Amino acid sequence: MSDILKQLDAVLEARKAESADSSYVASLYSKGVEKILKKVSEESAETIMAAKDLAHHNSPENKEHLVYEIADLWFHTMVLLASENLSSDDVTKELQRRFGLSGHDEKANRTS
């Protein structure tokens, strides 16, 4: 499963060297983190709306739409990670650290 994330990490890193005119991701990088954050926010809102649609009408189409929107959200959060010289590996390591840890315990142990 993580192979696609590693492949995407590599593509997102490569886009840093490309022209904003030739690549959507390069154009996001050129506009700065604020633009990337705006896209993450938009995709998050679209994911929420798709989840609400699914909650009200559980259909195969609504399930597909939710998956589509979550893919967009993941993609744009990965763009954000790459813009900050982080990768999906950083996130999977954090998830691995948390695995098996009670959510209540993890939250209580946070320093911020």
112 in a domain, yes or no? no
Structural domain count, the chain: 1
Structure tokens at 60: 């195969």
Structural domain that includes position 64:
2-100
67 in a domain, yes or no? yes
111 in a domain, yes or no? no
Report the CATH number at residue 42: 1.10.287.1080
DSSP collapsed to 3 states, 86-111: CCHHHHHHHHHHHCCCCHHHHHHCCC
108 in a domain, yes or no? no
93 in a domain, yes or no? yes
For 48-107, the pLDDT digits (tens) are 999 999 999 999 999 999 999 999 999 999 999 999 999 999 999 999 999 987 767 667
Q: How confident is the model at residue 111 (pLDDT cuts 50, 70, 90)?
A: low
8 in a domain, yes or no? yes
